[in-house]
C-alpha cells in the first residue's frame, strides 16, 4: 500500500482513533478549568484576587501536575472557609464541584496532554462520582443544618486533609512506580 493511499493519519505517523464514542482530552481539560474558575468565582466573591487561583486552576487542568492541582484545591478550600459564611447554601454546590475537580484532576494527572478518552470511561467515572456524592451531600446538608455551630470549619478541615492525603498518595505512588520500572519513569 502506498503512502498516498494510507490517508492523512498514517502519513503523519499518528494513528487517529475511531472518533465515535471518544471525547478529546482538550475538552475534558477545558471543562475542568472552567469548573475550577466557576468555583473560584463563587468563593472569591468578585475580588481581584481571583486572578491568581483562576490562573492556577487553568494551569492545573492544562498541565498535568500534582502540585498545581493540590494548590488549586487548597486555595478553593481555604477561600471557602474565609469568604463564605457558615450555613451558606453554596456549600452543596461547592462540595460537589470540589469533589468533581478532585476526580478530574486525578484523571488528568495520569493522562497524556493530548489524546482521547472514551465516553464509557467518563460515564464510569461519573457513576463513581455520584456514589460518593450520595454520602457527601447529606453530610453537607447536615453541615448546613448545624449552620452556626462551626460546621464549615469541619468541612474545610476535612477538605484540606483529603487534598493533602491525595497529593501524598499520588507522589508516593509515582515514586513506587519509578522504583519498579526505572525505564518507564517518563511515561507515567
Q: Is the pLDDT of residue 186 over 60?
A: no
- Element holding 188 (H helix, E strand): none
Q: Is the pLDDT of residue 9 over 60?
A: no
Count of CB atoms situated within 10 Å of the CB of 127:
9
* Cα 107 to Cα 115: distance, rounded to the nearest angstrom: 13
Count of CB atoms situated within 10 Å of the CB of 178:
14
Contact (Cβ atoms closer than 8 angstroms) between residue 54 and residue 37: yes
**Over the stretch 83-142, which tens digit does the pLDDT of each residue have?**
777 777 788 888 889 889 888 888 888 888 888 999 998 999 898 888 888 877 887 777
Q: Calculate mean pLDDT across residues 30-40.
A: 88
* Cα 34 to Cα 67: distance, rounded to the nearest angstrom: 19
State residue 145's pLDDT score.
74
Q: In which band, very low, low, confident or very high, does the pLDDT at 51 lie, cut at 50, 70 and 90?
A: confident
Q: Calculate mean pLDDT across residues 163-176.
A: 76
SS3 call for 84:
coil
* Cα 98 to Cα 101: distance, rounded to the nearest angstrom: 5
Please state, in angstroms and as integers, the Cα–Cα distance from residue 99 to each residue in 17, 46, 49, 95, following that order. Answer: 30, 23, 23, 6
C-alpha cell, 57: 486552576
* Cα 145 to Cα 155: distance, rounded to the nearest angstrom: 13
What does pTM read for this prediction?
0.67
Helix axes 90-110, 51-62, angle to 10 degrees: 40
Distance, CA of 180 to chain centre: 27
For the chain, give the percent of residues with pLDDT over 90: 3
Query: Measured on CA atoms in the order 158, 160, 164, 170, is the torsion positive or negative?
Result: positive
Of 169, 182, 181, residue with least CA distance to 69: 169
Amino acid at each position: 500500500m502506498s503512502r498516498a493511499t494510507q490517508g492523512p493519519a498514517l502519513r503523519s505517523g499518528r494513528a487517529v482513533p475511531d472518533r465515535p464514542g471518544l471525547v478529546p482530552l482538550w475538552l475534558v481539560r477545558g471543562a475542568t478549568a472552567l469548573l475550577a474558575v466557576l468555583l473560584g468565582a463563587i468563593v472569591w466573591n468578585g475580588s481581584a484576587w481571583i486572578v491568581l487561583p483562576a490562573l492556577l486552576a487553568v494551569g492545573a487542568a492544562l498541565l498535568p501536575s500534582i502540585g498545581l492541582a493540590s494548590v488549586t484545591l487548597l486555595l478553593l478550600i481555604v477561600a471557602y472557609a474565609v469568604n463564605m459564611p457558615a450555613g451558606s447554601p453554596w456549600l452543596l454546590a461547592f462540595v460537589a464541584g470540589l469533589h468533581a475537580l478532585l476526580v478530574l484532576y486525578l484523571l488528568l494527572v495520569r493522562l497524556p496532554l493530548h489524546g482521547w478518552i472514551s465516553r464509557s470511561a467518563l460515564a464510569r467515572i461519573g457513576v463513581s462520582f455520584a456514589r460518593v456524592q450520595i454520602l457527601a451531600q447529606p453530610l453537607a446538608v447536615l453541615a448546613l443544618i448545624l449552620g452556626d455551630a462551626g460546621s464549615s470549619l469541619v468541612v474545610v478541615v476535612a477538605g484540606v486533609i483529603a487534598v493533602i492525603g491525595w497529593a501524598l498518595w499520588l507522589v508516593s505512588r509515582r515514586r513506587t512506580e519509578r522504583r519498579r520500572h526505572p525505564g518507564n519513569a517518563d511515561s507515567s
